[in-house]
Amino acid sequence: MLSYSSYLLTAVAALLATCHALPKCPGIPGLPDVPGQDGLKGQPHLPGLIEPSGSLMGSAGRDGLPGPQGLPDSLDTELHNVLVNLKHRLSRLEGVLALNGKIKEVGEKILASNGKKVDFASALESCEEAGGTLATPMNEEENKAVLSIVKQYNQYAYLGIKEGGTSGQFKYINGTPLNYTKWHQYEPNGKGTEKCVEMYTDGSWNDKKCNLYRLTICEF
């Protein structure tokens, strides 16, 4: 919850910083007391929110503890309201997407597929272009969530796992060793000839060549 808040805070700061640098930028609608960056409302005080560096200036903490100087309590309250509003809006959007079967949420991860079957490199590329990476189940719950998408499309999917230099040594895309596996019986058996991993429609894993067409499932 705390990290989500700080993520949102960073997002708001980035938004305000970006808008601050633009000649014309719309305000955030829906909050009557929060001025837009276009200066339609409250032009005098919001620009002061962002330091030249682009970082948020400190304020008195909501817990009553004294915070760094610079941000008036009224603005601190406004910022808090913006965050509450954004969280509410995000959770509604997530609800719509989940309802329509467009995303699957598991823990902090969001899983989604574009429904396309491509080779491993193309699948990874499209996930990264979208700001994510290939789906990489790191526990049973995540594996089940990925499986639900595999079943939805009834297609095997590449996972964000590859074989390292030593055959039989499978790793996450970032090179760290696996902390969870769901190998099918007798897998992995490629002995260096099958460097990618696919998920079967029962959720188990098979090492497989990387140049086949498999469902793209990304995590964000």
User: Which residues, 6+ apart, have CB-to-CB distance to 179 below 8 Å?
Assistant: 138
130 touches 141 (CB < 8 A): no
**Rounded-to-integer distance, Cα 128 and Cα 155, Å:** 21
Decide if residue 189 touches ligand MAN (CB under 6 A).
Answer: yes
74 binds, among ligand MAN, Ca ion, none (CB under 5 to 8 A by kind): none
Task: Give the containing element (helix H, strand E) for 151.
Answer: helix 140-153
Residue 90: phi and psi, rounded to 5, are: -60, -45
- The nearer residue to Ca ion, 155 or 206, going by C-beta atoms, is 206
Decide if residue 155 touches ligand MAN (CB under 6 A).
Answer: no
Among 104, 195, 208, 214, binds ligand MAN (CB under 6 A): 208
Residues that bind Ca ion (rule: CB under 5 A) add up to a total of: 5
163 binds, among Ca ion, ligand MAN, none (CB under 5 to 8 A by kind): none
- The nearer residue to ligand MAN, 104 or 195, going by C-beta atoms, is 195
Decide if residue 206 touches Ca ion (CB under 5 A).
Answer: yes
Residue 87: phi and psi, rounded to 5, are: -60, -45
Closest CA to 201 of 213, 184, 178, 189: 184
- The nearer residue to ligand MAN, 176 or 185, going by C-beta atoms, is 185
Among 132, 194, 197, 219, binds ligand MAN (CB under 6 A): 194
Among 206, 210, 215, 216, binds ligand MAN (CB under 6 A): 206
Decide if residue 193 touches Ca ion (CB under 5 A).
Answer: no
CA within 13 Å, CB half, 48:
12
Residues within the interface to Ca ion (CB under 5 A)? 189-190, 194, 206-207
